[in-house]
Amino acid sequence: MTITVSSITKRFGSFTALDDVSLEVPSGALVALLGPSGSGKTSLLRILSGLEQPDHGSTLLDGVDLGSQSARQRNVGLVFQHYALFRHLDVFENVAFALRVRKVPNDVVETRVRELLQLIQLEGLGRRLPSQLSGGQRQRVALARALAARPRVLLLDEPFGALDAQVRAELRSWLRRLHDEIHLTTVFVTHDQDEAFEVADRVVVMNHGKIEQVGTPAEVFEHPANDFVMRFLGHVNVLEAHLESGRARVGDVVVELAGHEEESPRPGRVYVRPHEVEIGRAQTAGAFPARVVRVTPLGGGLKIELTAPSLGSSLRAEVDWERGSALGLRDGDDVFLSLRRARVFAQAA
């Protein structure tokens, strides 16, 4: 099912949750709504589910306007951030709920629920109450419950938000595999860019009730549309600079900017990701001196905090283990830096 959101506006009192938002989710896609809290992503999800009504605009499923349909008529699967499992019903009846209220015959319910419990790998726990399950198990029950009535689309609100890091990682890849099996058009809300990039085909970056950028994870990461997207996707060094044609002057350092030759001179900001900072022991052309403040292990590499007097700023760099051990960096070492890549954006209004 293709979801079309067209010019949706939603206000809560004086707060504008969604400001003229339009979006198309292709059939079978797995799309992440990514943004900080208050960016409108959950409001958009609730409007799609029918729990909220937009002030303006419309939502369509395969071209059919959903405006006149209440939440109960839409047959969308919704997984709540805190699961909202029915505390007095056991796992089996939680999953069966959508079928029970549709008066589906008992044997059909039985088969379908067994099938779903198998899918979420919780066979044998059907008689447990939600309070007797772990967080990850509750999450999967919530998902099975949402899938029971074969919804037309699946919506997930911060599906992994309340779980610890390891369970999160497992569930992410499980959700991705599940989606590859059932191909249900899926929209999920997250504030975690790693999660969005790992799970989704397409990422919708939102801020202040507006969509900042839509694209594949690679597109969004490689070509951020503006400074908000750039800053939101992981750590980035932001350097005050003076921009000229094709180059930026940061302190005493000049950085080449390909593709900005027509730029008229103005003050601006230069964005450099930590892995785009090149560290060397020897002075090379264009390199500038810096001092290592602190080295910390980070995932598969090292995080290095530096100060660079000639930039008039401190910086963060990241290198992989191999490079890190070749450099043999210690706190207080003097090094030379060059910037492999720097980005500038049109001035924010």
Partner 1 sequence: MSLLERAVIVPPPRRVALTEPAWVRRVVIGAGVVFLTLFVLVPLAAVLTAALSHGAAAYARSISDPAALRALKLTLIAAAIAVPLNLVFGVAASWAIARFRFRGRALLITLIDLPLAVSPVIAGMVFVLLFGSHGLLGPWLQDHGWRVIFALPGIVLATTFVTFPFVARELIPLMEAQGSEEEEAAMVLGASGWQMFVRITLPKIKWGLLYGVVLCTARAMGEFGAVSVVSGNVRGRTSTLPLHVEILYNEYEYQAAFAVASLLVLIGIASLLARRVIAARVDRSRQEAT
- Report residue 60 as tokens: 């369509």
Burial class, 111, CB count within 10 angstroms (exposed 0-12 / middle 13-18 / buried 19+): exposed
Helix (H) or strand (E) holding 19: strand 15-25
Q: Nearest distance from residue 168's CB to partner 1, in Å? A: 21
Q: Which is nearer to partner 1, 95 or 257 (CB)?
A: 95
Binding flag, residue 223, partner 1 (CB under 8 A): no
Q: Which is nearer to partner 1, 82 or 223 (CB)?
A: 82
In angstroms, how far is CA 301 from the centroid of its own chain?
Answer: 23
Binding flag, residue 108, partner 1 (CB under 8 A): no
Long-range contacts of 323-330 (CB under 8 A, 24+ apart): 323/279, 324/295, 327/279, 327/281, 329/279, 329/292, 329/295, 329/302, 329/304, 330/292, 330/295
Q: Which is nearer to partner 1, 99 or 229 (CB)?
A: 99
Binding flag, residue 88, partner 1 (CB under 8 A): yes
Interacting residue with partner 1 among 78, 253, 277, 306 (CB under 8 A) = 78
Long-range contacts of 110-114 (CB under 8 A, 24+ apart): 112/148, 113/148
Return the ∠ at Cα 234 (arms to 233 and 238), rounded to 5°.
Answer: 95
Interacting residue with partner 1 among 149, 206, 277, 302 (CB under 8 A) = 149
Binding flag, residue 150, partner 1 (CB under 8 A): no
Binders of partner 1 in range 38-67 (CB under 8 A) = 49-51
Q: Which stretch binds partner 1 (CB under 8 A): 34-42, 76-84, 108-116, 162-170?
A: 76-84
- Report residue 251 as tokens: 């302190």
Binding flag, residue 131, partner 1 (CB under 8 A): yes
Contact assessment for residue 85 and residue 33, using Cβ atoms and an 8 Å cutoff: no
**How far apart are the C-alpha atoms of 128 and 89, rounded to whole Å?**
9
Binding flag, residue 9, partner 1 (CB under 8 A): no
Binding flag, residue 146, partner 1 (CB under 8 A): yes
Q: Which is nearer to partner 1, 149 or 206 (CB)?
A: 149
Interacting residue with partner 1 among 14, 68, 87, 285 (CB under 8 A) = 87
Contact assessment for residue 9 and residue 20, using Cβ atoms and an 8 Å cutoff: yes
Q: Which of 99, 84, 86, 92 is nearest to 125 (CA)?
A: 92
Binding flag, residue 159, partner 1 (CB under 8 A): no
Q: Which is nearer to partner 1, 88 or 266 (CB)?
A: 88
Binding flag, residue 269, partner 1 (CB under 8 A): no
Q: Which is nearer to partner 1, 5 or 243 (CB)?
A: 5
Site for partner 1, rule CB under 8 A: 49-51, 70-78, 80, 82, 84-88, 97-98, 100-102, 131, 145-146, 148-149
